[in-house]
Amino acid sequence: MKKRPLILVTNDDGITAPGIRTLIDVMNQIGDVVVLAPDGPQSGMGHAVTINETLYCNKIKIDDGPQIEYKSSGTPADCVKLAVSEIMKRKPDLCVSGINHGSNSSINVIYSGTMSAAVEAGVEGIPAIGFSLLDYSWNANFEPLREFIKKIALNVLKNGLPDGVVLNVNFPNSGTFKGVKICRQARANWVEEFDKRVNPQGREYYWLTGKFTNMDAGEDTDERALEQNYISVVPVQFDLTAHHFIQKLNTWNLNE
C-alpha cells in the first residue's frame, strides 16, 4: 500500500481560527497531518523569528480529527522551524499555511505571516502553499474553497515545485468561482496613515491605518484575477536578488 504523504499545517491567525480548522480537515483527506500553529493571532508578523524570548510548544487536541496538533508561543516562521527540527520524525512532503482570514495578494505577501510560514518551509526544501480568503471575518465561509484547496495540494504533491518557489493562493470573497488563474504579483502598496492619540497619562501613541493602492493595470495580475472572481495562484520566489540589475551594477566604480 502506498504511503500517505506527511503534511505540516500552520497559519498566522492562531490554531483555533476557523480557517486552519478547515485546512486541517481537507489535508486529513490527503495524508497524515501534523499541525504546529501559533497559540494566538500573529497576523502581519512577516518572517519574524523569536530570538530574545523563550519559545513554548505544547501538544493540544482541539477536535476529533486524526491529526497530531501542537500550539506554540512563536511566530508562523518559528512554527515551521520547530516542526521540522524538533517535532516531526521526518521532513514533511508538503507544508500548507492558512487558510488566512484576509488577503495576501500583491504586496501583502511581504507582510504576511501566513506566506512567511510557507516561505520558511520552502527554505527548508519542502513544497509549500499559502492559502488566503479575501474575507477578514472570523466567521468567513470557507466551505466553497475545499475542493480547490484539495486539487491544488494534490497537484503540488504530484508535480512538485522548483527549488526556491512556493505558491501564494488567494480566493475572492465569493461563494462561487470562475476558475483558477496563474498570475503574477500586482505592483501595489499600502499608503499609510497614522492616527495619533494621547493616553490618559498624556503620552502620545499611534494606530496604524492605511489604504491599499493598486498601481498595476495589467490583465495578468493576482489583483485583476480576484476582481474578476478567479482564484489567483502566484509562484513566489524567496531569492530577492534583482538579477536584472547585476550587470548594470557592475559598471559602477565601487572599488575606486
Cell 478547515 appears where? Answer: 22
Contact present, 226 and 105 (Cβ < 8 Å): yes
Tens of pLDDT along 10-60?
999 999 999 999 999 999 999 999 999 998 777 777 787 878 888 899 999
Architecture of domain 6-185+219-238: 3-Layer(aba) Sandwich (3.40)
What mean pLDDT comes out for the span 173-181? 92
Query: SS3 sequence, 227-238?
Result: HCCCEEEEEEEC
Is pLDDT of 188 > 90? no
Q: What is the DSSP string of 180-226?
A: EEE-B---EEEEEEEEEEE-TTS-EEEEEEEEEEE----TTBHHHHH
Q: What is the DSSP string of 52-71?
A: SS---EEEE--SSSS-EEEE
Tens of pLDDT along 65-120?
999 999 999 899 999 999 999 999 899 999 999 899 999 988 888 888 999 999 99
Domain boundaries, the chain: 6-185+219-238
d(CA 224, CA 214): 10
What mean pLDDT comes out for the span 137-162? 96
pTM assigned to the model: 0.91
Say if residue 110 is preceded by a cis peptide, omega within 30 of 0: no
pLDDT band at 192 (very low <50, low <70, confident <90, very high): confident
**Per-residue CA distances from 51 to 48, 71, 74, 77, 245 (Å):** 9, 18, 10, 12, 33
